[in-house]
Amino acid sequence: MHPSDTNLNNPTPVISIRGLYKSFGDLQVLKGVDLDVFKGENVVVLGRSGTGKSVLIKIIVGLLKPDKGRVNVLGQEVENLSGKELDALRLRVGFSFQNSALYDSMNVRENLEFPLKMNVKNLTKKQINRAVEEVLNAVGLKEKMKQMPADLSGGQRKRIGIARTLILKPEIMLYDEPTSGLDPITSTEINNLINEVRENYNTSSIIITHDLTCAKVTGDRVAMLLEGRFLKMGNFEEVFSTDDEQIKSFFNYNFIT
């Protein structure tokens, strides 16, 4: 699905951010950010480490509070939600953490069962088994069901982390540096998986990355975040067809295969 089609058919964004500011002490991280994400769209937020990319998605799910601005997710103003309402919203928004956030004391099956047992009541063992098998098939790791996280490669841990997020069938996926620390071949597999998740689960996504290849492969639109503001938005070619020295230097510093 192309973003132009998405915007025409679904004029109401699933995520709408206006005038977002966030500081930590004297450090200004976000300085008036505006962003819309439409249904079925992959939006990449691209920028250097420390530019506020991860802060942005933590604000979206209410893990951090903004100093100023409005964040609307799936028709709800995040800052106005009670704790219970925020918990309910988070079940509809999957957060794929940079470090995969797996429980080291649980095997793969137990890691995947955990969010189901915590959040969905009265499921039978058969329903839980079916859900676990479905998401493991989706990420191509059904044979790893009984392994411990310590026995998995970095790429496999990323895949299991995505599977654990998918098991609650979220409407929105937030990916925090999905290819960080991975070799080029494994990074390609994760990029392809992100696109497959969108196609198979009809998700809308924000992908936080400083990886240009990830941005080019997964993003319908790219939002270039520099010094707390979005400097340019558009498809990959539009963003990097520019004479802006800040954007050109970012591009030249990276390597695209």
Top pLDDT among 205 and 8 is at 205
- What are the residue ranges of CATH 3.40.50.300 in the chain? 1-92+170-177+196-257
Q: Looking at residues 10-29, what average pLDDT do you find?
A: 92
Query: CB-hemisphere CA count at 13 Å for 23?
Result: 8
Return the structure tokens found at 181.
């620390």
Instruction: Look at residue 81 in the predicted model and tell me its pLDDT.
Output: 95
Euclidean distance between CA atoms 89 and 64, whole angstroms: 15
Other beta carbons within 10 angstroms of residue 9's beta carbon come to 11
**1-92+170-177+196-257 topology per CATH:** Rossmann fold (3.40.50)
The beta strands (E) that lie in the chain are given as 15-24, 27-37, 42-46, 68-73, 76-77, 93-96, 172-176, 204-209, 221-226, 229-234
DSSP 63: S
99 pLDDT band, cuts 50/70/90, is confident
pLDDT single digits (tens) 124-171: 999 999 999 999 999 999 999 999 999 999 999 999 999 999 999 999
Euclidean distance between CA atoms 213 and 255, whole angstroms: 8
Q: Indicate the average pLDDT of the chain.
A: 90
4 pLDDT band, cuts 50/70/90, is very low
Say what percent of the chain tops pLDDT 90.
79
pLDDT single digits (tens) 197-206: 999 999 999 9
pLDDT single digits (tens) 65-83: 999 999 999 999 999 999 9
